[in-house]
Amino acid sequence: MTADANHSPSPNAGHGHDHDHDHAHSTLGEMDLRVRALETLLTQKGYLDPAAVDRIIETYEVHVGPHNGAKVVARAWAEPAFRDWLLQDATAAIASMDYTGRQGEHMVAVPNTPDTHNMVVCTLCSCYPWPVLGLPPVWYKSAAYRSRAVIEPRAVLADFGVTLPEGQNIRVWDSTAEVRYLVLPERPAGTEGWSQEQLATLVTRDAMIGTGLALNPQVKEVAA
């Protein structure tokens, strides 16, 4: 592929789809080799237990992910006392559900209201609340998201197909320290009497980053 040759050298060219594909093709084999060589070397020198690497991967592929955060949000919707605790001391409230540790040592939950929509970014790197959301998607770590979330958050939301109601403010939280933010989305109408398990199915990863909203139960029924 020579897609790059067709691009003008605009600042966007380096981040379009074509370029990403080219880049992936040219670096994939190289990165495969490089990482394999590094792992072999570290193992042979006695610094690394490869089974520990397996276990770390398994943790984030299977056990830790946005399904954890969805349970926290569903519980906050269903139990006012838990919601209060979550907003007062998110670290303790979330730890009570056994979601603790790396990249979630200090948690703050920020509630969406009719007046204010919250959105989370890390402009300096890729800080993200791992115990409740798992590992961040590629877009969260991308230059486009990190650069624009703080200067034009409504335009960024438009990329996600989200338009906020007229008059709703937008509040962006840039995670520049070891505090990690979890957005508590608004509970959708039409979910009265739902169980926490049912409610959790409406809570998407993006809703907890603030680049999405909780799913509409009617739309979800149609989709299902």
Partner 1 sequence: MNGVHDMGGMQGYGPVQIEANEPLFHGDWERRALGLTVAMGASGLWNIDLARSARESLPPLDYVQGPYYAIWTQALQKLLIERGLITEQELAQGQPLTPPVAGVRVLKAAEVDAALAKGSPADRPSTQAPRFAVGQRVRALNLNPQGHTRLPRYVRGHVGTVVLHHGSHVLPDQHVNKMLPPFDGTAEHLYTVVFDGTELWGPQAESGHQVSVDAWESYLEAVHT
Residues classed as catalytic = 122, 125-127
Nearest Cα neighbor of 67 from 196, 203, 199 is 203
By CB under 8 A, residue 79 contacts partner 1: no
Looking at the Cβ atoms of 79 and 152, the one nearer to partner 1 is: 152
Q: Kindly state the tokens that stand for 184.
A: 């508590």
Residue 5 touching partner 1 (CB under 8 A):
no
Should residue 9 be labelled a site residue for partner 1 when binding is judged by CB under 8 A? no
Supply the minimum distance, in Å, between the C-beta of residue 124 and partner 1: 6
Q: Which of 40, 9, 39, 4 is nearest to 19 (CA)?
A: 4
**Of these, 67, 89, 97, 123, which contacts partner 1 (CB under 8 A)?**
123
Our finding on whether 105 is near partner 1 (CB under 8 A) is yes
Out of 1, 88, 92, 101, point to the residue binding partner 1 (CB under 8 A).
Answer: 101
CA distance 179 to 183: 13
Answer for which of 46, 114, 165, 193 binds partner 1 (CB under 8 A) is 46
144 counts as binding partner 1 under rule CB under 8 A:
yes
β-bridge partners, 119? 172
Total number of residues binding partner 1 (CB under 8 A)? 88
The residue from 1, 3, 25, 37 that contacts partner 1 (CB under 8 A) is 37
Dist. CA 206–CA 185, nearest whole Å: 10
113 interacts with partner 1 by CB under 8 A: no
Report the site for partner 1 in 11-30 (rule: CB under 8 A): 11-12, 14-17, 20, 23-24, 27-28
Stretch binding partner 1 (CB under 8 A), from 1-9, 51-59, 77-85, 189-197:
51-59
State the Cα–Cα distance between residues 203 and 70, nearest whole angstrom: 5
Residue 111 lies near partner 1 (rule: CB under 8 A): no
Ranges within 183-222 binding partner 1 (CB under 8 A)? none
We find the least distance from the C-beta atom of residue 60 to partner 1, in angstroms, to be 7
Measured from the Cβ of residue 81, the count of other Cβ atoms closer than 10 Å reads 8
Binding partner 1 (rule: CB under 8 A), the pick from 1, 3, 41, 219 is 41
